[in-house]
Structure 1
Amino acid sequence: MDDDSPTLIRDTEQRVFVGSLAGTLRSSHPELRLDSVNGLHKFFWISKGNGRCMINGVTRSFGPNTVIFIPHDVPHRLELSSNVYGVVVTVDPNVAVVLPDHSVFMPILNLMDQKQIANRFDRISAEFNTTGIGRNLAVEYLVGLLSVHLARMAQKHFKEPQTNAAQRLMEAFVNMLEKDYRTGRTLAEYAKVLGVTPTHLTRVCQQVNGKSASRLIQERVLAEARMMLSNTDHKILEISNQLGFSSPAYFTRLFSAKQGQSPKAYRQTAQK
C-alpha cells in the first residue's frame, strides 16, 4: 500500500495509558500515579507479589492474581512490595466505553479465570506498544472488553460487599481529605466537620486501616509533595505554600524526616 492510499479509519487521541508494576518501578508520570484522585479511571492487575490497597478509606491486603478497578473520583493508595509484577491501565473518563460504576477488588482464585484476565491485560499492553493504524481506538475497545469480562466474573463469583458505620466514616473522611489536604486543616477540624471527636476518628482509622488519622493526613500531603517535586519545577517555597504548610522550613524538616532526604535531594534523585 503506497503513501497516497486513503485512510480507512480515523484514530482518536491517546486517552488510555499502560504501565508496568514490575519490580520496584514507581512511575513518576502523573497519569500512572498509584495514589490520590487524579481524574483517571485505573485498572490494576497484580500477577506476582503482594501489598496493601486503600480504596475509599478501607485498606485490604492483596496477593498474586488480584484485579483492582478504581473509578476516577475515588481516593485510593497502593503500597506495593518490592517483588510486585503487574500492569496498571489508566483511562480518561471521556473514553466512550462502559466501565464498572464502582470500585472492584477481586482476588482471582480459579486458574482458568487467572489466565483469561492475564490475557486481557497482555492484549491491552501489546496494542498500546504498537504503532499501527487505529492503535488508540483498539486499546479503548480492549479496555471495554476487559470491563465486560470483569462484570461477568463478579456476577459469577463475588457478592457486593456490605459497608458498616466505620467504613462509611472512613469514606467520608478520605473524600474530604482529598478535597482539602492543601488547606492545612488539622485532625480536630476534620473531625468537627464529620461530627465526631478526634479520638473517635483516630480509633476508626486505626481499626480500618492500621494507621492513625493524623498519619493519613500527613501521608496524603507528602504524596502530593513528592509528585510536585518529581513532575514540576515549582520552588520549595511554592510547594510549601500550595500544600498549606506554615513555612518552607517546617515543610523541609517534615519531608526530610519522613522521606530520609531533603526536598531538593529528592527532586534531584527523582528527575535523574
Structure 2
Amino acid sequence: MQDQPALPAPAIQTIVQFAGGAPWRLELLHAHDHDMLFWITRGQGRAIVEGTRRGIGAHNALFLPAGTLYALDLGAQSFGLALTLPDGPALGFGRMARHLRIRDQQAQADLTAILDAMQRETARTAALQERALAAHAQLVAVWMHRQDVEPPATGNTAARRLVAAYCDLLVRRHRSGVSMAELADALGVTPTHLSRSCKNMCGLTAAEMQTQVSLHAARDLIETGTAPLSRIASHLGFGSAAYFSRFITQHTGKTPSALRHSRPAASKMPG
C-alpha cells in the first residue's frame, strides 16, 4: 500500500505574531481560505463573526471555518494563540463557527497543554514534524467536539440570518465591484432594511461592512506583495486606479504607494 499524502501542516503562533505587527489584519472584517482557531487566555475584547458582535474574554475559544467573515478587536493587555488549519475538515474540525466560553478548569488546561505542545514542536527541528503537528491539531478537534455548544445569545432571528447571508455574499463577491444596493437586491431586501439589520447586529452599517472587507483585501495585497497598484485596483473591482487611490487615502490617511513603503517588516510576507 502507498502512504497517504501528508496533510498540510497546521501552524501555531501568538495572536500578535499572527497579525504580523499590523492590528488592521484582525480588526477589519475579512475571511481566510483556511480554518482558524483563536484561544484567548488573558484580557478581553470584541469579535464580529458572521455579522454578529459578541464579547470575548479569557478562556474563550473562537473557531472559524474557511470563508467565515470576522473581525477581532482585543485589548492591549490581551494574550492568546492563533492556530491556522490548512485542512481543517481532514483533521476532524466541523463546518460551523463556534464561540466557546470555557469555564471548566480541566478543559482550559487540556487545550492549553495541546497548544503548548504544538509551540514546542514548532520551535525544534525534528523528523516528522508536520505529522506531529497534524496529530496535535486532531487532538484540538477532539477537544472541541467534547465541549457543549452554547446557543447564540441573539437567537436565530430573521435579522441574524439576513446579516449572515450578507456576510457570505461579501466574502464571495467582494472582488466584483458590486454595490451594497445590488447585494441587498440579491437578498430580496431594501438597502435601508439591510443596513438597519447590520447596524443592530454588529454596530456597523452594511456599507461600513463592505468598506472594511474591501479595505482589508486591498491592504493585504498592497502590503504583502509587489503587484502593480493598478493591477490590484482592477483585481478588487475598482473602476479605476484613481478611485482606488482615493479609497485607500480616505480610509488610511496614506496613498497606496506610501502604505507599501511604510509596511512593517513582518507584513511583507503573508501571515
Shorter-normalised TM range: 0.7 to 0.9
Over 3 Å counting, the alpha-carbon distance change for 1:84 and 1:260 in structure 2 is farther
2:32/2:68 contact within 8 Å kept: no
**Identity among equivalent pairs (%):** 26
Pick from 140, 143, 149 the counterpart of residue 143 of structure 2: 149
Structure whose alpha-carbon radius of gyration is higher? 1
Pick from 179, 192, 203 the counterpart of residue 185 of structure 2: 192
SS at match of 2:33: coil
Name stretches of at least 5 consecutive residues in structure 1 with no aligned partner: 1-8
Over 3 Å counting, the alpha-carbon distance change for 1:94 and 1:252 in structure 2 is same
Aligned to 1:124: 118
Aligned to 1:173: 166
Pick from 7, 12, 17 the counterpart of residue 18 of structure 1: 12
1:202 partnered with 2:181: no
1:249 partnered with 2:249: no
In 2, Cα distance between equivalents of 1:246 and 1:11:
43
Over 3 Å counting, the alpha-carbon distance change for 1:66 and 1:237 in structure 2 is same
Aligned to 2:211: 218
Over 3 Å counting, the alpha-carbon distance change for 1:248 and 1:80 in structure 2 is farther
SS at match of 2:238: coil
In 2, Cα distance between equivalents of 1:73 and 1:216:
15
Over 3 Å counting, the alpha-carbon distance change for 1:224 and 1:16 in structure 2 is same
Q: CA deviation at 1:13?
A: 6.2
Q: CA deviation at 1:186?
A: 1.2
Asked which structure has the greater RCO (Cα within 8 Å, sep 6+), the reply is 2
Aligned to 1:5: none
In 1, Cα distance between equivalents of 2:91 and 2:238:
41
1:72/1:93 contact within 8 Å kept: no
What is the root-mean-square deviation in Å for CA atoms of aligned residues? Answer: 2.4
Aligned to 2:150: 159
2:7/2:87 contact within 8 Å kept: no
In 1, Cα distance between equivalents of 2:74 and 2:235:
28
Aligned to 1:53: 47
SS at match of 2:147: helix
Q: CA deviation at 1:212?
A: 0.5
Q: CA deviation at 1:89?
A: 0.8
Partner AA of 1:176 in structure 2:
L
SS at match of 2:30: coil
Partner AA of 1:253 in structure 2:
R
SS at match of 1:15: coil
Q: CA deviation at 1:38?
A: 2.8
Superposed, 1:89-128 pairs within 5 Å as 89-93=83-87, 96-128=90-122
TM-score (norm 2): 0.86
Partner AA of 2:190 in structure 1:
T
Name stretches of at least 5 consecutive residues in structure 2 with no aligned partner: 266-271
Pick from 126, 130, 133 the counterpart of residue 136 of structure 1: 130
TM-score (norm 1): 0.86
Q: CA deviation at 1:267?
A: 1.2
2:223/2:263 contact within 8 Å kept: yes
Q: CA deviation at 1:28?
A: 7.6
In 2, Cα distance between equivalents of 1:28 and 1:243:
24
In 1, Cα distance between equivalents of 2:191 and 2:73:
26
Q: Report Cα offsets for 1:94-120 as digits up to 9, x if no partner.
A: 773211231110122233332222222
Q: CA deviation at 1:71?
A: 0.9
In 2, Cα distance between equivalents of 1:10 and 1:147:
20
2:234/2:240 contact within 8 Å kept: yes
Partner AA of 2:251 in structure 1:
K
Partner AA of 1:159 in structure 2:
E
